[in-house]
Amino acid sequence: MADEKSEPSGFKVVDRRGFTAEGSPREEAEAKKAEATPAVEKASRPQVVEPPTERVSRSQVIEPPEADLSDEPSGFETLVSYLSTTTMFQLGLMAGPGGERIPPDMPNAHRTIDLLQVLQDKTQGNLTANESRLLDDVLYELRMTFVELQKRQARKG
């Protein structure tokens, strides 16, 4: 009965798989690979700084870049960057809006790292090599920083 509709539904189905039913690469997939964006440079990703000690100077804390986001397309890299930056705020590694130090919120940082893991699990096999590498790198760095901060807190406590 669904085939009998005379009105368009407003939905368009596009097959974005890289291979045909026979297993050969699609021409569109090859063309997209050729024009794919280059890997996200490390400079464009948030950098992890040394976890804060008792007193934090302004030079030790990363300030969020002030950029016009209206020109930047929203995509997978933007989502990963957003979640990693949120985690860094939660770990107390980035300055607040006025440059003030934000105390670590370890339970929420752990939850955000877990969200990135869920994203990795759910997108397994659907990411480009660059996207997969970006997510792997971000997860590794955030986990290592989280563990280091936990060790420091345990020594203090």
Look at residue 58 and tell me if it is in a domain.
Answer: yes
Residue 39, both tokens: 């890997």
Look at residue 4 and tell me if it is in a domain.
Answer: no
Look at residue 17 and tell me if it is in a domain.
Answer: no
Look at residue 5 and tell me if it is in a domain.
Answer: no
Residue 119, both tokens: 């994203």
Burial of residue 119 (number of CB atoms within 10 Å: 0-12, 13-18, 19+): middle
- What is the number of structural domains in the chain? 1
| Of residues 70 and 97, more confidently modeled | 97
Specify the DSSP class assigned to residue 125. T
| Contacts of 116 by beta carbon, 8 Å cutoff, 6+ apart | 80, 83, 84, 87, 135, 138, 139, 142
Look at residue 83 and tell me if it is in a domain.
Answer: yes
Look at residue 49 and tell me if it is in a domain.
Answer: yes
Other beta carbons within 10 Å of 52 = 19
Q: Whole domain around residue 126: which residue ranges?
A: 39-156
Tell me what pLDDT residue 87 has. Answer: 96
Q: Of 26-40, 49-63, 80-94, which range is least confident?
A: 49-63
Tell me what pLDDT residue 44 has. Answer: 46
Q: Of 10-14, 27-31, 149-153, which range is least confident?
A: 27-31
Q: How many residues does the chain have?
A: 157
Tell me what pLDDT residue 109 has. Answer: 97
State CA 70 to chain mean position distance: 18
Tell me what pLDDT residue 146 has. Answer: 97
Look at residue 51 and tell me if it is in a domain.
Answer: yes
The CATH number that applies at residue 64 is: 1.20.58
- Determine contact, residues 95/102, Cβ cutoff 8 Å: yes
pLDDT in tens, 114-143: 999 999 999 999 999 999 999 999 999 999
Look at residue 93 and tell me if it is in a domain.
Answer: yes
Tell me what pLDDT residue 157 has. Answer: 72
pLDDT in tens, 10-26: 767 666 777 776 777 77
